[in-house]
């Protein structure tokens, strides 16, 4: 496994880290954390071999298979999504393509002895690499990441940037490397895909290092945390919560050591200053001076973690009823995302909107903020209600060659230079940072600037669409605290379960049935309903809250209902077992065909009609295996859902 020894790196004049030593252990699941700009991504690039260290060494075995998340989204535009994913194993992909081309030639010619040998060799190579299950496995990975089977044979060029990155992630996972290096893999995933990835990584038998700002994700998949801070790296056993507790104690101890040393020096220096002129005390003063010189001060390195000082106030309170929606409907072409949405929000409420991906959560917030027109229904703002909107896509708001200072000042032209500068400092823009163009800001910088604008405007209704998406862990914690202290009204969408659990006091669940209103926090919702959208949502086709009246308990029910659930559970178990047996049978048939193809002299002794029959049988068996695997995955997912609900 990879070993870093005494490694150091700089970015210009800034020291990222120095004297780092780290021996990765087989099977360990590491979370790599630290403030933005501390060198986490640089560390991943050093381990992958993409960068060389400025000092120290990085050792890796020559035969170590390392998987990284590729960033060239346009390298595979002409290939189908399945082809891109299977390309995670280049040798297998080349063998599959060569076999297809060879079979195409053999359809029109008798074939030479050399071609027969080559085909037999390719069959054996493909079988050894698990090639007969490659398409089914690649399809399963793509489905898990939210790319439907209908899309998987379409070309890569039809996808947006976020979905292209999902395909590249599937390609990385398909390679089955011994070491995975993943930099923010959840950034472009929806809730269901994040849960699927959590399950995949928990079961991953190799080693991985993942950079993430998602606390719940780190808690779910990691058993060790590597922390980059004070220009050094330290390992902590356990998940993120365990790391945070241990790190807090370590920082407190370090600060206490420094404070004790500084106090001891100050006390001795006071003695020296007081008595150096007195003959009777001169010797003691000189002795104390020598003691001061011998004291070893702990090395003072300041933490790279910086917490923005978010704080939200309302210029004036609204009336009691802040917002009312009546019969809201919105469609994009033939696809209806919102239909018959009704609810109202009162002053001071903290409301989270949750639901499956694509159900219309962001669309709902845009309609409330006045950025989209509803097709039907009404949005009524209450007396003195002033909404302030945070856009999930920062580029909707931050465009052009405008500096950070100029943009924020334009949000409140009457404010003084000192007020604007002070506010920028609170959200970590200092010095030359305020002259950056808004179009050049990183995701985290853009998020902090948009939040600064809300702080400046002092609206009494905050409408926030994924406000934590690009914030680091320190920024998320600071925002969570600030919203907890806000005395106005809050309506927000977020896939960060930790954030929702601590901020929301009411949950609006969007589903195909409409809106389910749950008064209480997210944990109350889970206890009552059991549908955890923020840890993964529902399987395709499942409808949260479907057929349940408001206030009716999700679990339990009368005897007939329990009997029906038990019957459905037994039926699903039998179906899963039947499909498992069918998969084993089909895989055995394919293995038999592969052995027949690999037999010495098969293509030379068998007549052409026999070869064609065997090839047709292989293709048909592969098709049936793929369909059976897909049916098994659906049945197993449904069985898991029913078991959890019971």
CATH of the domain at 577: 1.10.287
What pLDDT is stored for residue 308 in this prediction? 92
The pTM for the full model equals 0.65
SS3 228: strand
Last residue of a domain, one of 236, 251, 271: 236
- Mean pLDDT, to the nearest integer, of 173-181? 92
295 has pLDDT over 70: no
Residue 181 — pLDDT band, cuts 50, 70, 90? very high
What pLDDT is stored for residue 307 in this prediction? 87
Residue 552 — pLDDT band, cuts 50, 70, 90? very low
Residues 511 and 602 in one domain: no
Last residue of a domain, one of 183, 214, 236: 236
Q: Cβ of 76: how many Cβ atoms within 10 Å?
A: 21
Residues 527 and 626 in one domain: no
Find out whether 621 and 588 touch, Cβ atoms under 8 Å. Answer: no
Find out whether 102 and 122 touch, Cβ atoms under 8 Å. Answer: yes
Residue 283 lies in a domain: no
What pLDDT is stored for residue 594 in this prediction? 73
Residues 525 and 563 in one domain: no
Q: Please state, in angstroms and rounded to a whole number, the distance separating the CA atoms of residues 239 and 29.
A: 10
Residue 278 — pLDDT band, cuts 50, 70, 90? low
Contacts 24+ apart (CB under 8 A), 10-14: 10/54, 11/37, 11/39, 11/42
Q: Which helix (H) or strand (E) holds 151?
A: helix 149-152
Say which CATH number the domain at 401 has. Answer: 3.40.50.300
Q: Please state, in angstroms and rounded to a whole number, the distance separating the CA atoms of residues 151 and 142.
A: 9
Residues 433 and 500 in one domain: yes
- Mean pLDDT, to the nearest integer, of 328-352? 91
- Could you tell me the end-to-end alpha-carbon distance of the chain, in angstroms, rounded to an integer? 43
Q: Please state, in angstroms and rounded to a whole number, the distance separating the CA atoms of residues 148 and 561.
A: 33
Residues 564 and 527 in one domain: no
Helices within 308-403 (DSSP H only) = 361-368
Residues 493 and 620 in one domain: no
Residues 355 and 501 in one domain: yes
pLDDT in tens, 402-411: 999 999 999 9
What pLDDT is stored for residue 543 in this prediction? 35
579 has pLDDT over 90: no
What pLDDT is stored for residue 548 in this prediction? 35
What pLDDT is stored for residue 640 in this prediction? 67
Residue 273 lies in a domain: no
What pLDDT is stored for residue 624 in this prediction? 85
Task: State the total domains in the chain.
Answer: 3
Residue 501 lies in a domain: yes
Q: Residue 568: which domain range?
A: 559-645
pLDDT in tens, 230-251: 888 999 999 999 998 888 887 7
- Mean pLDDT, to the nearest integer, of 81-95? 89
Q: Cβ of 135: how many Cβ atoms within 10 Å?
A: 20
Q: Which helix (H) or strand (E) holds 321?
A: strand 321-332
Q: Which helix (H) or strand (E) holds 574?
A: helix 559-598
Last residue of a domain, one of 204, 236, 268: 236
603 has pLDDT over 80: no
Residues 598 and 449 in one domain: no
Find out whether 554 and 548 touch, Cβ atoms under 8 Å. Answer: yes
What pLDDT is stored for residue 615 in this prediction? 78
Find out whether 521 and 365 touch, Cβ atoms under 8 Å. Answer: no
Residues 335 and 192 in one domain: no
Residues 494 and 596 in one domain: no
Find out whether 76 and 87 touch, Cβ atoms under 8 Å. Answer: yes
322 has pLDDT over 60: yes
Residue 541 — pLDDT band, cuts 50, 70, 90? very low
Helices within 507-558 (DSSP H only) = 522-529
Residues 515 and 586 in one domain: no
pLDDT in tens, 449-493: 999 999 999 999 999 999 988 888 889 999 999 999 999 999 999
Residues 485 and 590 in one domain: no
Residue 194 lies in a domain: yes
E strand intervals along 512-580: 514-519
Q: Which helix (H) or strand (E) holds 380?
A: strand 376-381
Residue 252 lies in a domain: no
Residue 553 — pLDDT band, cuts 50, 70, 90? very low
Instruction: Retrieve residue 130's tokens.
Output: 């698990």
With b meaning 16 or more CB within 10 Å and e meaning fewer, what string describes 174-201? bbbbbbbbbbbbbebbbbbbbbbbbeeb
Find out whether 388 and 461 touch, Cβ atoms under 8 Å. Answer: yes
Residue 627 — pLDDT band, cuts 50, 70, 90? confident
376 has pLDDT over 90: yes
Residue 482 lies in a domain: yes
Residue 585 lies in a domain: yes
Which residue's structure tokens are 């229904």? 377
Range with lowest mean pLDDT among 9-13, 62-66, 465-469, 489-493: 9-13
Residue 401 lies in a domain: yes
Q: Which helix (H) or strand (E) holds 219?
A: helix 215-221
């Amino acid at each position: 496994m990879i070993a870093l020894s005494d490694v150091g790196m700089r970015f210009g004049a800034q020291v990222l880290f120095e004297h780092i030593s780290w021996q990765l252990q087989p099977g360990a699941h590491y979370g790599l954390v630290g403030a933005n700009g501390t060198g986490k991504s640089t560390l991943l690039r050093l381990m992958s071999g993409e960068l060389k260290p400025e000092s120290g060494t990085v050792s890796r075995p020559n035969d170590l298979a390392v998987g990284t998340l590729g960033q060239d989204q346009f390298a595979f535009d002409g290939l189908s999504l399945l082809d891109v994913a299977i390309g995670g194993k280049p040798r297998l992909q080349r063998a599959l393509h060569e076999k297809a081309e060879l079979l195409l030639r053999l359809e029109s010619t008798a074939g030479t002895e050399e071609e027969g040998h080559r085909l037999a060799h390719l069959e054996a190579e493909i079988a050894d690499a698990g090639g007969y299950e490659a398409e089914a496995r690649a399809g399963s990975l793509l489905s898990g990441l939210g790319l439907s089977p209908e899309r998987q044979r379409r070309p890569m060029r039809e996808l947006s940037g976020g979905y292209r990155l999902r395909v590249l992630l599937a390609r990385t996972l398909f390679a089955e490397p011994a070491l995975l290096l993943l930099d923010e893999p959840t950034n472009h995933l929806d809730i269901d895909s994040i849960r699927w990835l959590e399950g995949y990584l928990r079961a991953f038998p190799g080693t991985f290092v993942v950079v993430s700002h998602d606390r719940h994700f780190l808690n779910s998949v990691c058993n060790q945390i590597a922390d980059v801070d004070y220009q050094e790296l330290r390992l902590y056993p356990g998940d993120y919560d365990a790391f945070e507790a241990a790190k807090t104690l370590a920082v407190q101890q370090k600060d206490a050591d420094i404070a004790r040393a500084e106090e001891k020096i100050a006390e001795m220096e006071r003695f020296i200053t007081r008595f150096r002129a007195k003959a009777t005390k001169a010797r003691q003063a000189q002795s104390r001076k020598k003691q001061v010189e011998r004291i070893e001060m702990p090395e003072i390195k300041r933490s790279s973690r910086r917490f923005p000082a978010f704080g939200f106030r309302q210029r004036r309170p609204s009336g009691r009823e802040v917002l009312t929606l009546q019969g809201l409907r919105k469609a994009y072409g033939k696809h209806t995302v919102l239909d018959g949405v009704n609810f109202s929000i009162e002053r001071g409420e903290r409301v989270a909107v949750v639901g499956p991906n694509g159900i219309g959560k962001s669309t709902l917030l845009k309609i409330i903020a006045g950025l989209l027109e509803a097709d039907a229904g009404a949005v009524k703002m209450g007396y003195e209600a002033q909404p302030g909107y945070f856009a999930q896509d920062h580029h909707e708001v931050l465009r052009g060659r405008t500096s950070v200072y100029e943009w924020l000042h334009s949000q409140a032209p009457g404010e003084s230079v000192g007020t604007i500068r002070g506010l920028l400092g609170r959200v970590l823009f200092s010095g030359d940072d305020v002259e950056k163009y808004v179009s050049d800001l990183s995701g985290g910088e853009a998020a902090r600037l948009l939040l600064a604008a809300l702080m400046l405007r002092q609206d009494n209704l905050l409408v926030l669409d994924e406000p934590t998406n690009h914030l680091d862990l320190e920024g998320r914690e600071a925002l969570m605290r600030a919203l907890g202290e806000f005395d106005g009204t809050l309506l927000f969408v977020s896939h960060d379960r930790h954030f929702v659990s601590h901020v929301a006091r009411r949950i609006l669940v969007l589903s195909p049935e409409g809106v389910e209103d749950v008064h209480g926090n997210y944990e109350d919702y889970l206890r009552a309903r059991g549908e955890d959208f923020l840890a993964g949502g529902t399987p395709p086709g499942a409808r949260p809250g479907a057929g349940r009246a408001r206030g009716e308990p999700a679990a339990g029910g009368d005897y007939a209902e329990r009997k029906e659930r038990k019957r459905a559970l037994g039926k699903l178990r039998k179906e899963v077992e039947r499909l498992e047996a069918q998969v084993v049978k089909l895989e055995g048939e394919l293995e038999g065909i592969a052995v027949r193809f690999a037999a010495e002299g098969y293509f030379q002794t068998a007549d052409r009609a026999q070869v064609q029959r065997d090839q047709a049988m292989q293709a048909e068996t592969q098709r049936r295996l793929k369909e059976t695997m897909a049916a098994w995955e659906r049945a197993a997912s449904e069985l898991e859902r029913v078991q959890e609900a019971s």
